[in-house]
Amino acid sequence: MRVAPTSLLVGLSLAVAGAHAQEPKPEAPRADAPTEAEPAPEAAAPAKESIGTTPDVSALSSELSAVLDELIQARTRASVLAKSLFRTRIDINVLRRADDQRMVHVRLELDGVPVHDSDGAALGGDEAHLFQGYVAPGVHEVGIEITEQSKQNATYQYTRSERFRIETKKGTSTQVDVLLRDDSDMAEELPQGDDGKYQVSTRVRVTPVKVGD
């Protein structure tokens, strides 16, 4: 049976209309419905440390000075205790043999604690008694750091630091002599185009003396 074109078009129109009628209509947004949150603004980036700023070291210097003061006070108290209990005295002398050099700094330590620090003026006569105190019997460390420069040309200088272990015994006074020798000719020879050298040496002599009862 043939279907008339008109009837076919009417049937298609009715089918399309029915399909549209079955599609769910979008709901209108309610007034109390939560809206989509807007993205939070990005946190401000921390300000970069300005380039070229110099850190404040005054607080660190004060703290270091306080720590060194405490160490020195502790050393003093220990020395008093050692004197009364053990009678183990220690004397440190520094002797210097250098004709063409000038000492500009000398630092002396005992067990890591500074016991003398100066510009070397104390060694103007090439020999000085730099420390006297009391320690407990046992092994101790004597440290010395010096800076010397040429009398002719201050450009030529050096700094050297050395440490030496010694032993003290109860009822004994110990004398430590540190001999510094310098035969350098760097300032004299190198400017002339010759071979210059820093020639330095250190000798430590330890002399124990029994303390009488």
Mean pLDDT of 54-58: 68
- Whether the model clears a pTM of 0.85, i.e. scores above it, the answer is no
Name the least confident of 74-88, 128-142, 153-167, 174-188.
74-88
pLDDT at 75: 64
More confident residue, 179 or 3: 179
* Residue 45, H or E segment: none
- 129 neighbors 138 (Cβ within 8 angstroms): no
Q: State the alpha helices, DSSP H only, in the chain.
A: 5-22, 58-85, 186-189
Cα torsion 72, 78, 81, 83 to 10°: value is -80
Q: Name which of 189, 99, 100 is nearest 150 in CA terms.
A: 100
DSSP category for residue 23: S
Least trusted range by pLDDT, from 10-24, 100-114, 131-145: 10-24
- Confidence at 82, pLDDT banded by 50, 70, 90: low
Q: Is 6 exposed, middle or buried (0-12, 13-18, 19+ CB in 10 A)?
A: exposed
**pLDDT for position 9:** 38
Instruction: Kindly state the average pLDDT of the residues 146-172.
Output: 94
Q: How confident is the model at residue 115 (pLDDT cuts 50, 70, 90)?
A: very high
The pLDDT of residue 181? 95
Residue 108 has phi, psi (to 5 degrees) of -120, 135
- Give percent of the chain above pLDDT 90: 49
